[in-house]
Amino acid sequence: MKLNASQLVKLSVVGEVDSPSVGDTPYRVSADGQPLVLVGSGGITYNVRVGDSVAGWKADHVEPGVSLKNSNNNANGALNLYACVGNEATVISGDAKKAKGVVTGKH
């Protein structure tokens, strides 16, 4: 198979850990009418990893690992476009500086 890897541009994108957020109300309503407050997406999920069972968690929309966002809308668009599953991710600041990870999902 012929590849054009030597012709591809290598580009970096930057994001910050995105805090979890809550809409107008933190409540969801269960099938039997009970109010629930469930963990959603955002932030750093410390105890759920790719490959873990999806069943049994008391949560609504768990995203394993770290959720990122860039506060500049256009740069955030580039982050979402160019960060691809399988790409290496490198921490560039803080206590974990130079730590490596892998993009495991996006939306």
- Residues written for the chain: 107
| In the chain, % of residues over pLDDT 70 | 100
State the chain's mean pLDDT as an integer. 92
| In the chain, % of residues over pLDDT 90 | 71
State yes or no: pLDDT of 82 exceeds 90: yes
Instruction: Give the pLDDT score at 23.
Output: 82
The residue that leads in pLDDT, 26 or 76, is: 76
Distance of alpha carbon 31 from alpha carbon 53, whole angstroms: 22
Give long-range contacts, CB 8 A cutoff, 24+ apart: 34-43: 41/67, 42/18, 42/67, 43/17, 43/18, 43/19, 43/67
Distance of alpha carbon 2 from alpha carbon 79, whole angstroms: 28
Which pLDDT band, with edges at 50, 70 and 90, does 62 fall under? confident
State the CATH class of domain 14-107: few secondary structures
Instruction: Give the pLDDT score at 21.
Output: 86
